[in-house]
Structure 1
Amino acid sequence: MQLLLQDKSVTTTVTPAMSFLDVVWSALQIDPVDAGVRMIDGHRFAELAAGQTGPLLVAQCHANWVMSNIKLAHESASGDEPVVILHHLGLDDQKIVHTTWQNLDREIEPDHLTSIYIPKLAEPIAGEMAKLHNLARTLREQCPWDQKQTHDSLVRYLIEETYEVVDAISALDPDDQSTDEKFIEELGDLLYQVEFHTTIAEQQGRFSIADVARSIHDKLVRRHPHIFGDVHAENADAVVTNWDAIKQQERGEVTEKSVFDGVANSSPSLMYSTKLQKRAAEFGFDWPDSKGASDKIAEELGELRKAVESKQDASEIALELGDVLFSVVNLSRHLGVDAETALRSAADKFRGRFQSVVALAEQRKLDLTKCTLTQLDELWEIAKQNN
């Protein structure tokens, strides 16, 4: 109707008539003005209902997919919220179905004469997240590249976006708001990866973003009994202790196959090693203090030295070197230092210093590839003093 009225080449006459809204208010026995009812287009429910808790009258609910999208838009719904489905009002087969949010798309076969009335929601609809979710669906349905993707093909992008978030965190400057904007951008890229995976799963009929959100919500509530239960935790260390104890209870009886459940095989090596050691330590398999871990490094270095001096096979030397690295990770755990963070800091320090070495060489008109070790060492010492 709006398009016709805007088209000057078409003569359009609007004839007043009884609106379906009059029939709706009569059927519901409410005064829409007094109740403060807001009317929403079902096709744009997630966007238009953002921040709303009701009452809402939702029109254009002509298909099951529209009803399902409306239901999924309210990700924090308990499922018990009351909903009234209004179908064929004023006709002989009129139906007024009082149901719940969970069964919204299961009660009838909707058509162009179907609307729903939502008296009240416990929590408002999350508009921005819903818009992102709808965008992910649209791209998956209409973009050739998105349609080709699978969970496996997206792994590389998930890892890449995660590292870019880490870089953005490292670059955060309290005095430079533009660094916040970069952080927001990278977090958004990572969030979209979560949306992409859940959209694929949703199309396969496996799970939705609502299931993901509900899972992490319930887990966090369960893991924080000092907030949501009667457990007492005086400090952060006590919280971690409780967390680990709850995780161990959730894993149930430990077997050979389950002892390392939850430790991702594809984790970066330093993180993987740390988690294996922490899990073993839960069963008492650990040094009592950092001295034992430190002595173990010396022992493993000795074995590596022997392997190199005796010219053992390269694979044997690699195993011995791995033992050294594993022992270093163990020491860092005992010292309360994250091995990944420590190594990254050392790598960043080296990067900065070597960039200074390159700058110094340029200032002195030196070709680094032709410098002697003595010259390089001199430049390095100067770079250390400057950084």
Structure 2
Amino acid sequence: MTVVEAPAVPRVLIAEADPWAREMLSELVLDVRRDAQLDVCSDGKQAVELMRGFIPDLVIACRELPGVDGLSLLRGVRLLRRQPPVRFILLSNRNDSASVREAVQLAPTAYLTKPLNIEGLRHRLEVLLLKEGDQVARTVPALTPGMGLDAFLDKRRELADGGPLYVDVRDVIARSRGPAGIDLKLLENELSEDPHVTAVLIAAANSASQHQGKPLQTLVQALTTLGATQSANLVQGLALKRGAILTDAALILQASEVWDVSRRTAGYARILARTLDLDHERCYCAGLLRGLGDLSVIRCLQEWLLSGGTLDETSIAHALEQYAAAFGSALRTRWRLPLELRELIAAVYQYNTGVYTREVLAMNLAGQMGRLGQEDPLEALAKSKSARLLKVNASDLERVRNKWVA
């Protein structure tokens, strides 16, 4: 058997139709070999076009690609008769013996069925992309000379990856694992207070279940649709991204304030919704996601620091005031969060339309409560338009607050 050395700077082609799986695979490759040159596409035809210009050191392709499927892509690569053969990891939803035999005849480097075993895939990538004992650091892109913070944030707005993680992913997965694997209920409990994870899983679940009924708008629905293993894989993939874990003390403090308000808002929204006989889980998620824009800006500010920029309290406050709303709107649109959920998130701050549904009013009231301190009086809030239309008085609001604290 010929041993093939890991390439000096590998070029890796990833062909995967699902955008969240593409992102996870990209981050996994870069986590193993941070200097890898990535080419990413969403269908087989794009992959064929790319390979007309170069032959990659490694191909990772899904069998169920639209256009030219992954098996045809593998067949075409093998017809090149390259020596040593091009490394090719074929991913598939099919694990029946006939499908496996069909693929094995074309000698893929690995045939992996979904949902993927992330640690198993990581080990394969380490073998294929690293020489024994090697560790390759990913360089942080330096700032463009003369670029100021506003220009940096303007450039990042449409490309931001979302907020930092509230949970410790490694601990979450460990605590959610039982004798039979990942326990979905335990996983839900561990992730239920993380806005970024909640938003990504809802977006990924809707992407995976397009045209299959009503949009998914809660963490429970997302986890049920994706399943425990795929959900855990996506969450682990999020932790691989640069900036996912905050390291700057001032930014950690700022993010903690946003997380606290979001948790309060979500808790109040859930209790109000139960009291008013509304969809309490949807209201909870909307409340939790209220701070996506702020958190996304905070994460970008850490990227600014890592790239050589400087920050002080004034510049942090300016960035949040100037960019949080735009970052949040761009994220919710790009991730294609369901419109009904986006409307409830927006209602936390203001009414978007003249149609005052009870859920919109409840979210607006929860948003106002979330911004108050635990000891702040509630009489003025009880006189607000939302409270009056819902027929909620100060005593009702005090009970809501006490239930959440309890």
Same structural fold, with TM-score higher than 0.5 when normalized by the shorter chain:
no
Specify the structure having the higher radius of gyration (Cα): 1
